Structure 1
């Protein structure tokens, strides 16, 4: 009889949450907010989570929605199929991944909320990799200068119950 070895994989969620999170309240539509962010901060947001082209310029395989949206599958409590929520997302990423900025809508196209415990924020800016505190403060000030911004606040992702929704 063969002996079966079972391996258990444990992930350290702390490592996965290595990013800065800003909550943004604004009545602007996502594309208008990106326009004003690009104009006032020097960031260059473009639509989509990632390019649908690989590093050689060839089309990647897979559904296009996976590159355009941040998709969260709702947990189903009954036998109905789980509903997919599509959250509009924009990116400004260095080709060498020295910096990555993402702007993600807190409401999905289907009406779901990405981070329900802080539903008062309309958008989240996820900043991956290191950002100096002075640069972060300057960015927050620049965002606050946009007329239709109600509030910008840094949020500690570790305290959020729905923090796994921000991992992509």
Structure 2
């Protein structure tokens, strides 16, 4: 008997109760995180243990993931770099530089809009939009 891991079920479970933002901001990930930390009073830090590695055309691509667990809640913020060396974590969103995943606790529309409005004030940010996770084709790429 052979057991097959269903990555679709895994991905669907991973994305339960999440919100996902796509951000166009052509700048280095550490600079973007620094600005977010300053502006929003958050503390995004790179987490090398959950870095995403994809192999395409016999090459490895590494997508950094920054993490910020919100104190006294079960909400965790993850910021993914969508590009590495000409490849994309989510190829269907090539125009996006970063993906911000809010996971672990319900996030109200009001809180999400405040985050979006704050990100838009950062110099260099060209677009911030919520992505419907059911529209993301390669969402298993975001599962760590």
Please, what TM-score do these two structures have when normalized by structure 1?
Answer: 0.73
| Residues 78-110 of structure 1 deviation map (CA, whole Å, 9 limit, x = unaligned) | xxxx432101221112477711111111112x4
**1:72 maps to which residue?**
54
Cα RMSD, aligned residues only: 2.2
Higher helix fraction (1 or 2):
2
Check the 8 A contact 1:93/1:100 in 2, yes or no: yes
Q: Alignment partner of 1:44: what SS?
A: coil
**2:94 maps to which residue?**
119
**1:17 maps to which residue?**
15
Kindly tell me: are residues 7 and 100 of structure 1, through their superposed partners in 2, closer, same or farther at Cα, counting changes over 3 Å? same
Q: Alignment partner of 1:121: what SS?
A: coil
Check the 8 A contact 1:70/1:86 in 2, yes or no: yes
C-alpha distance in 2 between matches for 1:166 and 1:29 = 20
For structure 1, the 5+ residue unaligned runs are 50-66, 77-81
| Residues 138-167 of structure 1 deviation map (CA, whole Å, 9 limit, x = unaligned) | 111111111211110000121121111111
C-alpha distance in 2 between matches for 1:83 and 1:8 = 25
**2:38 maps to which residue?**
39
Higher strand fraction (1 or 2):
2
| Residues 36-89 of structure 1 deviation map (CA, whole Å, 9 limit, x = unaligned) | 10111121101125xxxxxxxxxxxxxxxxx16221233x6xxxxx43210122
| Residues 96-135 of structure 1 deviation map (CA, whole Å, 9 limit, x = unaligned) | 7711111111112x43111111100011111112212211
For structure 2, the 5+ residue unaligned runs are none
Please, what TM-score do these two structures have when normalized by structure 2?
Answer: 0.84
Q: Which runs of 4+ in 1 moved over 3 A?
A: 5-11, 94-97
**1:53 maps to which residue?**
none
Count residues with an aligned counterpart: 140
